[in-house]
Amino acid sequence: MNDAPKLGLVLGSGLGVLADEIQQRVTIKYEEIPGFPVSTVEGHAGQLVVGELSGMKVLAMQGRFHFYEGYRLDEVTFPIRVMKELGIDSVIVTNAAGSVNPSFEPGDLMLITDHINNAGVNPLIGTNDSKYGVRFPDLSNAYSEELQLLAKDAAKKIQVDLKEGVYVWNSGPSYETPAEIRMMHKLGGDAVGMSTVPEVIVARHASMDVVGISCITNMAAGILNQPLSHEEVIETTEKARETFLLFVKELVQLIAEN
């Protein structure tokens, strides 16, 4: 059990390639794991990859489950509880996100400092499983201060201008309206996306430490005078991929050393 992974990675749209860099890997397809939902969206492979990354034993989700795909939130967050059961105590969550903050640019990486749950649902609704955590979990420090510092160090090391901000979760699958984006900006949001928050809530419920990284793939609706498309999101993720990979590998290295 000494060799069991302590760090989990949740890889967002177009960012699953990171799992390809895991050495001495064992892969397990989601459909082979009892209780796991199966991923459906294009660009989301569906497997767990266990192995070594930057000298650390990790377990990566190559592809995640989204609420907009029709999964229940207990299904969306099931893998986080599997991680917990396996002894994982820290998670790096990643996603592709639109920028609500006009000063960010597509291709930027944003350290998530906090989130706004704008979806009106919560994965912990229902009977509380006290094996994992309390009925009313505190989200005052949803994103670990310590891991945020390591993320900033990692960015410095590889000379990336890491942005910081608040991630807003919308259910999707429609992108937002310009009026919604103006509202989110007024409410303190910096980036918007359709994932991550359910996993973070369930991870924090189970006292796991979380660090979140958004890959800014587009300016959110209404900021530029142009339509949004999934193609643009995928295209920008591909362009930002090298930096993203370098950055997360550096972050894992720093986590391993600390």
Report, as residue numbers or ranges, the catalytic residues.
13, 44, 66, 68-69, 96, 194-195, 218, 230
User: In whole angstroms, what is the distance from residue 112 CA to residue 228 CA?
Assistant: 22
Q: Residues near 211 by Cβ (< 8 Å), separated by ≥ 6? A: 90, 91, 92, 93, 111, 112, 143, 144, 147, 148, 150, 151, 251
192 binds ligand HPA (CB under 6 A): yes
Q: Is 68 helix (H, G, I), strand (E, B) or coil?
A: helix
Residue from 132, 175, 244, 247 touching ligand HPA (CB under 6 A): that is: 175
Residue pair 87/4 in contact (Cβ under 8 Å)? The answer is yes
Choose among 142, 80, 77: nearest CA to 111.
Answer: 142
User: Please, which residue, 76 or 83, has the CB nearer to ligand HPA?
Assistant: 76
Three-state secondary-structure class, residue 107: coil
Span interacting with ligand HPA, options 30-38, 42-50, 93-101, 134-142, rule CB under 6 A: 93-101
Asked if 123 interacts with ligand HPA (CB under 6 A), we say no
Q: Based on CB atoms, which residue is closest to ligand HPA, 90 or 217?
A: 217
Check binding of 97 to ligand HPA (CB under 6 A).
yes
Q: Is 228 in the site for ligand HPA (CB under 6 A)?
A: yes
Question: Taking the complex as a whole, how short is the minimal distance between the CB of residue 186 and ligand HPA, in angstroms?
Answer: 17
CB neighbours (10 Å) of residue 166? Answer: 20
- CB of 102 vs ligand HPA, minimal distance in Å: 13
User: What does DSSP assign to residue 99?
Assistant: E
Query: Which of 9, 76, 96, 184 touches ligand HPA (CB under 6 A)?
Result: 96
CB of 155 to ligand HPA, least distance (A): 21
Contact 176, 125 (CB under 8 A): no
Q: Which residues in this chain contact ligand HPA in the complex, by CB under 6 A?
A: 96-98, 170, 175-176, 192-194, 217-218, 220, 228, 233
